[in-house]
Copies of this chain bind each other. A is one copy, B any other.
Amino acid sequence: MTTRRASPNAARRNEASRRATLTAAFDLLQEVGYAKLSIEGIAARAGVGKQTIYRWWPSKGAVVFDAFLLLSESAEGGPPVLPDTGDLEADLTAVLLATIEELNDPRYDQPMRALATEIAHDPELAAAYAERLDGPLKDAKRQRLRSAQQAGQLADDLDLDVAVEMIWGPVLNRWLQRSGPLTADYIDRVITTALNGLRPRPPAAG
């Protein structure tokens, strides 16, 4: 709790500076990449004092993280929810197609790589990411699978955490390691293989 409160005008100005900083950070990430991103550069682009940025964020990694948080906030109102039409395969396909569209978009590819590789090297950022950005998304994924499980479409004893990783892990890994193209056909094959499993399946009765 703060004991001193900013006046409404000051609060508005602070919020405007915060948003300008985060937007500038995201734009610069696309243009110059993470290695060349600097607090100085962000301050100049945002028209905000360098000291202001240092007062609010301990590092450029923290600024970048909040820039992603702002992006996910503005995209939707409440916590993320996956579509649930009752057709699991169709819903997963729609979600993963949207994911690869983003991953294949040069505007997002570079910033998202920067975030992913910073997480790989920074356990603190990884914990913040898991809690604030990836956590709500993973809840939504698990929730969609749970609903399919309750409808009898997924195995009763399925480990939902592992099931989520089974569907999203290969796609993220292929993107990050550049080990193959992310296409609609690939998405189909991942979903089919994850749902059916590697072992032979007897033809469904009835």
Which residues of A are at the interface with B, using a C-beta cutoff of 8 A?
A: 33, 113, 116-117, 119-121, 123, 126-127, 129-130, 134, 145, 152-156, 158-159, 161-163, 165-174, 176-180, 186, 189-190, 193-202, 205
Q: With the chains together, A198 CA to B146 CA distance in Å? A: 11
Contacts of A129 in B (CB 8 A): 177
Q: With the chains together, A178 CA to B126 CA distance in Å? A: 6
B193 touches A166 (CB 8 A): yes
Contacts of A176 in B (CB 8 A): 116, 120, 173, 176
Q: Specify the chain B residue showing the minimal Cβ separation from A154.
A: B198
A165 touches B154 (CB 8 A): no
Given contacts A117-B121, A121-B33, A178-B119, contact A201 B155 (CB under 8 A): yes
A170 touches B166 (CB 8 A): yes
Contacts of A120 in B (CB 8 A): 113, 116-117, 176-178
Q: Specify the chain B residue showing the minimal Cβ separation from A175.
A: B120
Q: Specify the chain B residue showing the minimal Cβ separation from A112.
A: B120
Contacts of A196 in B (CB 8 A): 155, 197, 199
Q: Specify the chain B residue showing the minimal Cβ separation from A127.
A: B178
Most B Cβ at <10 Å: residue of A134, A156, A196: A196
